[in-house]
């Protein structure tokens, strides 16, 4: 009888282990304590700017961005403004016309340089903005100018005619910031400095776009690649240079084998850390 009971217990234990819950994500505080969506929403609603650092091909990021957009709109209504790295400043008219319902989706696709994964990953947020007439900021620098800096350095921006599409010149780039310094090291040293300056141009322009479109009492939710805001650097650093009093909440996305506990190296990346299973299906 004891052997029978032991066998039943062992079978039950093995089934419990085999069929343990498989969460699609887990939220953590900056220090690595588990938290939940309600606390994220509350913190976001109290901020001036929210920087949602995504992994571009991760469906959980895009789903959670849409949920956060919907819930912040329910709380803030006409005080909510959206912005994104995925749209460039010289496409602002095309984006605004579409969100305001003045053009069709086919016209929008012709007028704007949409990312290849726009249909699956960003269109849901844009359509929500269109339905509810939420202002949407095309925040990023035109890619041809980032490419110019990557090839020739920041001085090449002096030759640009349409400087209204850039952050005000001259642009300060602090290469001692850990994120930029790490990028230089990762890419092989001095020869990669202009590439890093091109990334900084993107960060500075997105920060400029945000400050140009934010007003006291408003909340601007900005979607960007994680590297552009993690470690409280990138866009966040440039925003604080412009307005030290700005209340900025950052979200950083990481992938882990096990999301039940935040890996030590993934702590202190942002105010909230979104951990997603490493084997999550990708959108591309």
Q: What are the residue boundaries of the structural domains of the chain, listed by start? A: 25-277
Q: Which residues contact 94 (CB under 8 A, 6 or more apart)?
A: 103, 108, 111, 112, 138
Backbone angle region of 20, left / alpha / beta, with phi > 0 → left and psi within -120 to 50 → alpha: beta
User: For residue 206, what is the enclosing H or E element?
Assistant: helix 193-213
Residues of the chain with pLDDT under 70: 1-19, 189-191
Backbone φ and ψ of 51, nearest 5° = -105, 110
- What residues pair up with 53 in beta bridges, in sequence order? 224
- Do the Cβ atoms of 233 and 168 come closer than 8 Å? no
Whole-angstrom distance, CA of residue 204 vs CA of residue 166:
8
125, HSE (Cβ side, Cα atoms, 13 Å) = 28
Helices 123-132/92-99 angle, 10° precision: 60
Whole-angstrom distance, CA of residue 160 vs CA of residue 164:
10
Greatest CA separation for the chain: 87
Question: Token pair of 246, please?
Answer: 């700005």
Whole-angstrom distance, CA of residue 89 vs CA of residue 11:
60
Per-residue burial over 88-102, b = 16 or more CB atoms within 10 Å of its CB, e = otherwise: bbbbbebbebbbeee
Determine the 3-state secondary structure of 62 from DSSP: helix
Q: Which residues contact 249 (CB under 8 A, 6 or more apart)?
A: 43, 44, 46, 47, 49, 50, 51, 271, 272
**pLDDT at residue number 21:** 78
Question: Token pair of 27, please?
Answer: 């939220």
Question: Token pair of 123, please?
Answer: 């269109």
**pLDDT at residue number 4:** 52
**Where does 25-277 sit in CATH, by number?**
3.40.50.11550
**pLDDT at residue number 190:** 62
Question: Token pair of 57, please?
Answer: 């091909």
Q: Record the pTM.
A: 0.92
**pLDDT at residue number 143:** 97
Whole-angstrom distance, CA of residue 200 vs CA of residue 136:
22
Please count the residues of the chain: 284
**pLDDT at residue number 3:** 54
What burial class does residue 158 get, using C-beta atoms within 10 Å of its C-beta: 0-12 exposed, 13-18 middle, 19+ buried? exposed
Q: Which residue has the tokens 């994220």?
A: 40
């Amino acid at each position: 009888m004891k052997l029978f009971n032991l066998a039943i217990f062992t079978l039950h234990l093995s089934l419990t282990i085999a069929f343990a819950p498989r969460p699609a994500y887990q939220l953590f505080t900056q220090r690595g304590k588990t938290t939940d969506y309600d606390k994220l929403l509350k913190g976001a609603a109290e901020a001036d700017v929210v920087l949602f650092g995504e992994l571009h091909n991760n469906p959980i990021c895009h789903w959670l961005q849409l949920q956060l957009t919907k819930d912040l709109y329910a709380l803030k209504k006409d005080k909510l403004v959206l912005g994104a790295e995925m749209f460039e400043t010289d496409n602002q008219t095309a984006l605004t016309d579409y969100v305001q319902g003045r053009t069709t989706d086919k016209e929008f696709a012709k007028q704007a340089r949409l990312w290849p994964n726009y249909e699956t990953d960003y269109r849901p947020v844009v359509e929500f903005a269109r339905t509810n007439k939420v202002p949407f900021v095309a925040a990023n620098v035109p890619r041809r100018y980032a490419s110019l800096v990557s090839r020739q350095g920041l001085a090449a921006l002096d030759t640009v005619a349409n400087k209204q599409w850039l952050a005000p010149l001259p642009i300060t780039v602090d290469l001692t910031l850990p994120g930029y310094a790490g990028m230089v090291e990762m890419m092989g040293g001095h020869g990669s400095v202009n590439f890093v300056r091109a990334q900084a141009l993107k960060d500075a322009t997105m920060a400029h776009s945000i400050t140009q479109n934010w007003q006291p009492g408003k909340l601007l939710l900005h979607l960007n690649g994680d590297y552009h805001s993690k470690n409280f650097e990138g866009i966040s650093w440039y925003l604080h240079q412009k307005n030290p009093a700005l209340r900025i909440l950052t979200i950083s996305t990481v992938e882990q084998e096990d999301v039940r506990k935040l890996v030590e190296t993934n702590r202190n990346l942002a105010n909230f850390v979104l951990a997603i299973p490493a084997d999550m299906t990708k959108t591309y």
